[in-house]
Homo-oligomer: A and B are copies of this chain.
Amino acid sequence: MKIAVDAMGGDYAPDEIVKGIELARDAYPDLEFLLYGQEEKVAPLLQDKTRITLVPAPEVIAMEDEPVRAVRRKKQSSIVLAATAVREGEADAFFSAGNTGAVLAAGLLIVGRIKGIERPGLTTTLPVLRKPDQSSFVMLDVGANADTKPFNVVQYAVMGQYYAQSVMHVAKPRVGLLNNGTEADKGDMAHRAIYEALSGMDDLNFVGNVESRELLNGAADVVVTDGFTGNATLKAIEGTALSMLKLIKGEIMSGGLGGKLGAGLLKPVFKNVQSAMDYSQYGGAVLLGLKAPVVKTHGSTKAPTVKNTIGQIRELLASHSADQLVTYFADHTEQMAALKESLK
Q: Kindly state whether residue A77 has any CB partner on chain B within 8 Å.
A: no
Could you say which residues of chain B place their CB within 8 Å of the CB of A251? 269, 272-273
Chain A interface category by residue count: 35 or more
Among B143, B188, B241, B265, the residue within 8 A (CB) of A240 is B241
Could you say which residues of chain B place their CB within 8 Å of the CB of A316? none
Most B-side CB within 10 Å, residue of A240, A242, A266: A240
Chain B residue nearest in CB terms to A271: B251
Q: Which of A46-54, A110-118, A209-217 contacts B (4 or more CB under 8 A)?
A: A209-217
Number of copies: 2
Given A265-B265, A272-B251: A243 and B231 interface contact (C-beta under 8 Å)? no
Are B228 and A216 touching (Cβ within 8 A)? no
Interface residues of A (CB under 8 A from B): 129-130, 143, 146-147, 178, 180, 186-189, 191, 211-217, 225, 227-229, 231-233, 235-248, 250-252, 255-257, 261-262, 265-266, 268-269, 272-273, 276-277
Given A212-B236, A215-B236, A217-B239, 8 additional A-B pairs, CB 8 A? A213-B242, A216-B243, A225-B232, A229-B232, A240-B240, A247-B273, A248-B273, A266-B266
Give me 20 A-to-B residue pairs in the complex whose CB atoms sit less than 8 angstroms apart, sorted by A's number.
Answer: A129-B247, A130-B243, A146-B191, A180-B232, A211-B232, A212-B236, A213-B242, A215-B236, A216-B240, A237-B240, A240-B241, A240-B244, A241-B244, A247-B277, A248-B248, A251-B269, A251-B272, A251-B273, A261-B265, A262-B265
